[in-house]
Amino acid sequence: MGQEFDEKQNPQSEFHTKNLALSVVHLFFGGTEMVSATLRYGFLLLMKYPEVQEKVHQEIDGVVGRHRDPAAEDRSRMPYTHAVIHEIQRFSNIIPLGIPHAVIRDTQFRGYTLPKGTDVFCVLGSALRDPRHFSDPERFDPGNFLDENGGFKKNHAFMAFSSGTRKRVCLGEGLARMELFLVFTSVLQRFTLQSPVDPQDIDLTPKASGFWNIPPEYRVCALPR
């Protein structure tokens, strides 16, 4: 407590209420924007691949039904929907570059020397489209996250949020994963999503690409189920 009190009283310290509040706000809204962008891409993909949407509908009806809201504990009983959400994240690649890290010691990497303190950015998109881990990385396929028995299968190349050890991953990752599942299943429980254009004519090209891959603008018909 003594060291913490001294830190708070230190005029040069960055530990103060304003910075703490800003950190929470940035964490919340950063995660919210990523969830929103992923859902927008996801709904577009479901209109392009209606057979995938139909299977999600079937699983939601079988596990959740129509008379209650989806809950967090449903996720473990819905492997196909869980796989679809992962494949949406992989395929859309919303954040191609992960948050920066810094090497803690002089490091040799592929013939280069990275001095201690060097900022390092992980190109997450290169892992998400790695043909060594995804058989046809340019194709949208929930099977990338399903085993031969239809159960959910983890893939170590899946890094949609960030890279690094558990204590260095995105702080809002757990919250974002659950928010994605609950919003996604709640919408699909109630609606069938259809495009006013032929599914074959749907363009999945990002509206803008850089630090973020921004989903293209589109129209959707949400038909009550």
- Write out the residue range of the structural domain in which residue 147 sits: 2-224
How much is the pLDDT for 110? 82
- Which is higher by pLDDT, 222 or 119? 222
pLDDT, tens digit, for every residue of 117-167? 888 777 666 667 778 878 888 899 999 999 999 999 988 767 655 554 445
Q: What's the mean pLDDT in 65-89? A: 96
Number of domains in the chain: 1
Q: Could you tell me the pTM of the whole model?
A: 0.75
Q: Is 170 annotated as a binding residue?
A: yes
Please determine, for residue 89, whether its predicted confidence score (pLDDT) is greater than 80. Answer: yes
Pairing of strands 191-194, 208-209: unpaired
Which residues are CB-contacts of 89 (< 8 A; sequence separation ≥ 6)? 38, 158, 160, 180
With residue 185 as reference, give the H or E element that holds it.
helix 173-190
> Which CATH number fits the domain that encloses residue 115?
1.10.630.10
Per the listing, tokens 């280069």 go with 112
How much is the pLDDT for 129? 76
